[in-house]
Chains A and B, each alone.
Chain A
Amino acid sequence: MSSTHGRVIALHLGVVLLLFALQFVVGEYMRLSLTRIMLFAIFAMGYNLLYGYTGLLSLGHAMFFAVGLYVAALGTTLAGLSAPTAFVAAIAVGALFSLTIGIVALRASGVAFMIVTLMFSQAAFLTVLYFGNYTRGDEGIVISESIRRFSFAGLPVDLTDPVTRYNLALALLMLAMMTCLAIVRSSIGHVLVAIRENETRTEMLGYDVTRYKLFALVVSGTLSALSGAAYALMFAYAGSTLASIQYSIHPLLWTLLGGAATILGPLLGTAVMFALVDLASGFTNANLLAVGVVLIVLVLFFPKGILGTIRERWLPWLP
């Protein structure tokens, strides 16, 4: 156990160090892509906690991402909050929102849960469009440069600077990774996996299954909101596309591709999918076609994803 513990820590520390080192090697375009990948990977990691570990397939995670996105964007532009305050507010609202949605949606189980999350997310998307006067719909909110330059604890922070953005995204990714790792390796994490494997049995053993599921959903939704808020502030944009159904499917795809129920799977899946779309855009502009084909191929021939397969064959200790 303790040797496993060491290996796990070393692996994840290694990934963080690798990402830190990469910024000195790669070019400007690559650095921007990696920043984006790291932020979306937080979204996917949150998703994975619910889907991979707890076995709850949500088709509506875009709404959690959108809550973070819009609280940050509207908070800074309309309510006049500073960027750090808006960021914290977005996370708090995200947690509260996930709690509310969770209480209602978790009354449904199985297929009904998937459909209900899909529809809630669609209602959230329509709400964004309905209040187009404030959200500016598809066109989106643009956050001005002056808001994105602020001082935090006496230090000047400039979110328009690519290097600052990269390292902040990396820090947030590390935070999300540590959160997931801590949960997954704790007794709570084991109960979550037990629920995934056999919900009835877990309930009969005396665990309050609904409460555990709600916990997973709130953490998952909050991480998604965090990712959305960071995205809005760093890339200065919040548009309705980011709340659409596609952005509910993306984290599912990234998680499945990298390997559900692995900590690093969502990060790997996001990176691979970005590379794939980048590659595909060379000869077609139908990105969604690539998404669709990858989903079908994965589920038919490769259901455990990249890291899931590696864990099965070679590294049984991978968390």
Chain B
Amino acid sequence: MSFGPHLLLAILEGTVAAAVLALTALGLSLVFGVMRVVNVAHGEFYMLGAMVAWWLSRLVPAHPAAGFALALVGAPIAVGAVALATERLVLRRLNYEPEATIVATIGLLFVIQQLALTVFGADAKPVSAPFNFRIVFPWFGYSGYKLFVVAASAVVLLAAWWVLARTRFGLIMRATQYDSETAAAFGIPVDKVYAAVFVTGAALAALAAVLLVPIQQAHYLMGLDPLLMSFIVVIIGGLGSIKGSVIAAIVIGMSDGIISVFFSPTLASILGTLLVALVLVVRPQGLFGVPVR
């Protein structure tokens, strides 16, 4: 394959990676932005989403699309339930204190990972795509499902933006993010907002995983990569800035995908990390962030 088509392929792969990453990172960014909680277990919510998707898709063997549709609804709900339990039983008791919640979510990371290993086993689990449709370019054929992933992710991102910017719930969330004490004084049930945000963040990770799992199989160790990528995105975009996270996810996901095609995924990860170092040296609060008060 000559350079032009090869680059096109790399850009397509990059777009798919960016689409999934944007959803995952949005969840992490939302939780950090509103609650100031760094959820180290975010990647495990993602992994759990993929595992549940695999389990649900096997319940409906009739047609892959039916199983996929079930997973699309069921996995975020199941993972959201786990997140709700975490929020109530652990995070709330810790008063959302940053250091304590980090340690607790690290613990949760190991617990979820090991339980997934025990329950689902160590082998990778395939989920078939809801439809088989190949877009035929003159040089290569490309999976139509991957483009569906990009479109679906764009729809979810737009919906998230609409909720945040245009609805009453979004307003309440932004008020809590801006100043939780004043919000509480105005009668906003801050603890309910926190619970809702944490569940939403986990559900977004699960949704991203359901979209990805027909492309990449589900495995109990699959959570670490998206977690670290999301961290890169959230740092570069600016901690707490949701707009920054989405923009950074697109840039990082694209470049990660492109470097992975031309060189190696390991090199892409190393470069991503060094990029973070560079951004921090120049601009410690991230590209779109404001210094933490």
Interface residues of A (CB under 8 A from B): 57, 59, 104-105, 107-112, 114-116, 118-120, 122-123, 126-127, 129-130, 245, 249, 252, 256, 286, 288-289, 291-296, 298-300, 303
**Can you name the residue of chain A whose Cβ is closest to the Cβ of B271?**
A123
Provide 23 A-B residue pairs closer than 8 Å at the C-beta atoms, listed in order of the A residue. A57-B99, A59-B106, A104-B281, A108-B280, A111-B36, A112-B239, A114-B102, A115-B231, A118-B228, A118-B231, A119-B228, A119-B235, A123-B274, A126-B266, A249-B106, A286-B114, A286-B118, A289-B110, A291-B110, A296-B107, A299-B103, A299-B104, A300-B104
CB pair B104 A295 closer than 8 Å: yes
Assuming the contacts A112-B239, A299-B103, A300-B94, asked whether A123 and B110 have C-beta atoms less than 8 A apart, the reply is: no
CB pair A119 B38 closer than 8 Å: no
**In the complex, B77 has a CB within 8 A of chain A:** no
CB pair B280 A107 closer than 8 Å: yes
Give, as a whole number of angstroms, the nearest-CB distance from A132 to chain B.
9
A107 to B239, CA, bound (A): 14
B107 / chain A contacts, CB cutoff of 8 Å: 291-296, 299
Give, as a whole number of angstroms, the nearest-CB distance from B28 to chain A.
10
The 5 A-B residue pairs with the shortest CB-CB distance in the complex, in nearest-first order: A292-B110, A295-B107, A292-B111, A123-B273, A296-B107
Besides A123-B274, A292-B114, 20 more A-B contacts (Cβ < 8 Å) are A105-B280, A111-B36, A111-B102, A114-B38, A115-B38, A115-B234, A120-B277, A122-B228, A122-B273, A123-B269, A130-B267, A249-B106, A292-B107, A292-B112, A293-B111, A295-B104, A295-B106, A298-B103, A300-B104, A303-B100
B273 / chain A contacts, CB cutoff of 8 Å: 119-120, 122-123, 126
Query: Binary interface profile of B, 83-99, with partner A (CB < 8 Å = 1, else 0)?
Result: 00000001001100011
Assuming the contacts A116-B277, A119-B273, A122-B269, asked whether A286 and B117 have C-beta atoms less than 8 A apart, the reply is: yes
**Can you name the residue of chain B whose Cβ is closest to the Cβ of A297?**
B107
CB pair B110 A107 closer than 8 Å: no
B32 / chain A contacts, CB cutoff of 8 Å: 111
**In the complex, B108 has a CB within 8 A of chain A:** yes
B108 / chain A contacts, CB cutoff of 8 Å: 292, 296
A289 to B118, CA, bound (A): 10
CB pair A116 B276 closer than 8 Å: yes
Give, as a whole number of angstroms, the nearest-CB distance from B132 to chain A.
34
| Cβ 8 A contact of B277, one of A57, A104, A293 | A104
B110 / chain A contacts, CB cutoff of 8 Å: 249, 288-289, 291-292, 295
| Cβ 8 A contact of B224, one of A104, A109, A245, A295 | A245
A230 to B112, CA, bound (A): 33
A256 to B100, CA, bound (A): 11
A109 to B267, CA, bound (A): 27
A59 to B227, CA, bound (A): 14
A116 to B231, CA, bound (A): 9
Assuming the contacts A291-B107, A292-B107, asked whether A112 and B266 have C-beta atoms less than 8 A apart, the reply is: no
**In the complex, B113 has a CB within 8 A of chain A:** yes
B228 / chain A contacts, CB cutoff of 8 Å: 118-119, 122
A114 to B40, CA, bound (A): 11
CB pair B270 A127 closer than 8 Å: yes
| Cβ 8 A contact of B103, one of A110, A115, A252 | A252
A123 to B277, CA, bound (A): 11
Interface residues of B (CB under 8 A from A): 32, 36, 38, 40, 90, 93-94, 98-100, 102-104, 106-115, 117-118, 224, 228, 231-232, 234-235, 239, 264, 266-267, 269-270, 273-274, 276-277, 280-281, 284, 292
| Cβ 8 A contact of B38, one of A111, A127, A295, A296 | A111
Give, as a whole number of angstroms, the nearest-CB distance from A266 to chain B.
15
B232 / chain A contacts, CB cutoff of 8 Å: 119
B284 / chain A contacts, CB cutoff of 8 Å: 107-109, 112
A252 to B113, CA, bound (A): 19
B267 / chain A contacts, CB cutoff of 8 Å: 130
A299 to B99, CA, bound (A): 10
A245 to B227, CA, bound (A): 12
CB pair B102 A57 closer than 8 Å: yes
A303 to B107, CA, bound (A): 14
**Can you name the residue of chain A whose Cβ is closest to the Cβ of B110?**
A292
Give, as a whole number of angstroms, the nearest-CB distance from A244 to chain B.
9
A111 / chain B contacts, CB cutoff of 8 Å: 32, 36, 38, 98, 102, 239, 292
A298 to B94, CA, bound (A): 11
B235 / chain A contacts, CB cutoff of 8 Å: 112, 115-116, 119
B111 / chain A contacts, CB cutoff of 8 Å: 289, 292-293, 296
CB pair B114 A300 closer than 8 Å: no
A111 to B31, CA, bound (A): 13
A168 to B290, CA, bound (A): 50
CB pair A288 B113 closer than 8 Å: yes
